[in-house]
Structure 1
Amino acid sequence: MPIKIPDALPARHVLENENVFVIGETRALHQDIRPLRILILNLMPLKIATETHLLRALSNSPLQVEVDFLMTSSHVSKNTPREHLFAFYKVFDEVRSNKYDGMIITGAPVELLDFEEVNYWPELTEIMDWSKTNATSTFHICWGAQAGLFHHFGIKKYPLEKKMFGIFKHTVEQPEEPLMRGFNDLYHAPHSRYTEVKENDILEHPDLVLLSKSKKAGVYMVMSKDRRQVFVTGHSEYDASTLKEEYDRDLAKGLDIAIPDNYFPDDNPENEPLVLWRSHASLLYSNWLNYYVYQATPFQLEQIQ
């Protein structure tokens, strides 16, 4: 089944060239099936790339998915054309009265700031509070996961001595949980961050469940016990070249950046990166859509509470 996206969205052409099953708005209007409505709050600076990453991850499902993109009104993106934002994005006041089957909150390059120092923090907390009653399940990514854990559960983030950067092995801590169904006992996932949350803080909180972790990268997947909040501290949605692009960008800025762990064959940036996480990423998003959204959401969206 397809993912439904606006006819003119740039990601559509990229995904169609990859043989990803997408469907334009015009064709979708003639189908008698209610799609899952997913709201994506995109806080990443390169929004067009992030759109493609997430739409690719959401497409591997037998469910039709309809996506709305949301941006903050209290922060103006400098890296995405204004024409693109005006064409494809809404602000919170435009969706405040809507209900959604699911919501995704992305990461953002503001990890080294205290949460309260982020200029759109008041707006983000309002949106996160709103998501508890207006979305069946919310999926938080990287800094978005840290922000959600802090706001909803008081879990602090801590600075790392150096950037957690590369592809790391992870173990499944709760294999019986539907989100983890089909996962290998040991699997890979990308990380790119300067801060972390502590495992003990998660384990000691009565309303949180640790689903997956890494010996080197630490906490990876956390879930609220009511299954309505999912927190992923890495970037399973990244494509093959994303870490390379980040590495090249940081080198160009003169930053002291290490080669991403377990990414380039022989740790040689001249070699093409190996993709070790693609199947896990597809499984993660399809499990979330199926077990936490589709099977939990009411058919009448207004019944979400």
Structure 2
Amino acid sequence: MLEHGGSGAAYGETGLVDTVPPFLSEAAAPAPRLRIGLLNNMPDTALVQTERQFRRLIGPEVELRFFSLASVPRGPLARAHLDRFYAPHTALPTAGLDALVITGSEPKAARLDAEPYYADFTAVVDWAAQATTSTLFSCLAAHAAVLHLDGIERRPLPAKHSGVYPCAASQPHPLLSGMAPVMPVPHSRWNDLPEGELAAKGYTVLRRSEAVGVDLFVREGASLMVFLQGHPEYEIDTLAREYRRDIGRFLEGSRDTCPGIPENYYSDDAIERLETFAELARIKRALSLHADFPDMAATPPRPAAWQDGAARLFRNWLSLVAANRALRATAEAVA
């Protein structure tokens, strides 16, 4: 199996722990290595990139194990990779995990509960809600989870949110420990969750954006459930690759409108070049034009200002996982 890890504050099932030694502190006695699962549902073209992104954030001190849903459609190359490095989702209950990360998958059906993998996905959510100390849901997985847990339906946006947006903390929480009040976060989505419905069902919104709405929210319970509508795991070129893909889909006719340039992401010179190409694409809509799309050297993104905050968020999350594991072990020892 592939492996990886992280560090921060502490949170128990009943609230914030007042004093917990920092995760993997040099002064602390060695603790058992955390074991985190990644249920990777991303499309074939993003499967390995997603592994790399979450490996980087979770870090080398933590054992990272990979799992997949057999009901997510796969091509032969991706299936061969999964067969070599991944376990099926049915192996989750016996994997000895402390926590789980679940990614989304590009939707094929009009409704999430009509996706071919939805029954398997919801079974994993129900198991994780009781068996893990925490589960983190990324983007579409967050949408599918709140639909299953509380019947909250996502709403289609008039245009895709694509770019890097300032997201402001709405209240203190150990997940945000040591972070600035406003942090940049990449978003890339066609749908949104209404904040009012989340609050009515007992979710706590921790960070939001004036431009794109809710960014980060949690649900307390036997397992702390963490939901991200954004993509703090993205690498510097991820939005650029997605934009190029979306341009290609427009040129080949599989999408009706020319995609907007990711906001707050490119340099001014890059925006000028990309706007020139987009205007040409609207006038001369032909797949052959895709070969003339400006490359990364000609259209560089700005520096990835979100990555330090993303690393801190995951260190804080891993600290909560470690603290909650210790609390559970203590409770089981005295039971």
Structure 2 length-normalised TM: 0.75
Displacement of 1:152 = 1.5
Identify which of structures 1 and 2 has the higher relative contact order when contacts are C-alpha pairs closer than 8 Å and 6+ apart.
2
Is the radius of gyration larger for structure 1 or structure 2? 2
Q: SS in structure 2 opposite 1:131? A: helix
Indicate if the aligned counterparts of 2:162 and 2:262 stay in contact, CA closer than 8 A: yes
Larger relative strand fraction: 1
Q: SS in structure 2 opposite 1:107? A: coil
1:43-122 to structure 2, matched below 5 A, reads: 43-45=41-43, 46-59=46-59, 64-78=61-75, 80-110=77-107, 113-122=110-119
Tell me the C-alpha RMSD between the 2 structures.
Answer: 2.4
- What residue is the counterpart of 1:181 in the other structure? 177
Unaligned runs of 5+ in 2: 5-29, 275-297
Displacement of 1:111 = 7.6
Tell me whether 1:273 sits opposite 2:306 in the alignment. no
- What residue is the counterpart of 2:312 in the other structure? 283
* Aligned counterpart for 1:222 among listed residues 205, 213, 217: 217
C-alpha distance in 2 between matches for 1:33 and 1:223: 26
- What residue is the counterpart of 1:35 in the other structure? 33
- What residue is the counterpart of 1:200 in the other structure? 196
The one-character-per-residue Cα deviations of 1:4-60 (angstroms, maximum 9, x if unpaired) are x638x9xxxxxxxxxxxxxxxxxxxxxx86211101110111210000000111118
Indicate if the aligned counterparts of 1:149 and 1:231 stay in contact, CA closer than 8 A: no
Indicate if the aligned counterparts of 1:44 and 1:50 stay in contact, CA closer than 8 A: yes
Gap change, CA 1:210 and 1:111, over 3 Å in 2: farther
Indicate if the aligned counterparts of 1:99 and 1:135 stay in contact, CA closer than 8 A: no
The one-character-per-residue Cα deviations of 1:113-150 (angstroms, maximum 9, x if unpaired) are 31211110000000110111221100001001111122
C-alpha distance in 2 between matches for 1:131 and 1:111: 25
Larger relative helix fraction: 2
Q: SS in structure 2 opposite 1:156? A: coil
C-alpha distance in 1 between matches for 2:31 and 2:325: 15
Displacement of 1:94 = 2.3
Displacement of 1:154 = 2.2
1:136-155 to structure 2, matched below 5 A, reads: 136-155=133-152
User: 4+ residue runs of structure 1 moved beyond 3 angstroms?
Assistant: 298-301
Indicate if the aligned counterparts of 1:112 and 1:159 stay in contact, CA closer than 8 A: no
- What residue is the counterpart of 1:22 in the other structure? none
Structure 1 length-normalised TM: 0.83
Displacement of 1:75 = 2.3
C-alpha distance in 2 between matches for 1:121 and 1:244: 30
Indicate if the aligned counterparts of 1:156 and 1:197 stay in contact, CA closer than 8 A: yes
Amino acid at match of 1:56: R
* Aligned counterpart for 1:162 among listed residues 159, 162, 165: 159
Gap change, CA 1:112 and 1:170, over 3 Å in 2: farther
Amino acid at match of 1:113: A
C-alpha distance in 2 between matches for 1:223 and 1:164: 21
C-alpha distance in 1 between matches for 2:108 and 2:193: 12
- What residue is the counterpart of 1:24 in the other structure? none
Q: SS in structure 2 opposite 1:129? A: helix
Displacement of 1:193 = 0.5
C-alpha distance in 1 between matches for 2:301 and 2:238: 10
Number of residue pairs aligned between Structure 1 and Structure 2 = 271
Displacement of 1:80 = 4.9
Tell me whether 1:246 sits opposite 2:275 in the alignment. no
C-alpha distance in 2 between matches for 1:234 and 1:80: 28
- What residue is the counterpart of 1:294 in the other structure? 322
Indicate if the aligned counterparts of 2:2 and 2:66 stay in contact, CA closer than 8 A: no
Q: SS in structure 2 opposite 1:273? A: coil
C-alpha distance in 1 between matches for 2:266 and 2:139: 22
Unaligned runs of 5+ in 1: 10-31
Tell me whether 1:126 sits opposite 2:154 in the alignment. no
C-alpha distance in 1 between matches for 2:227 and 2:169: 15
Amino acid at match of 2:308: S
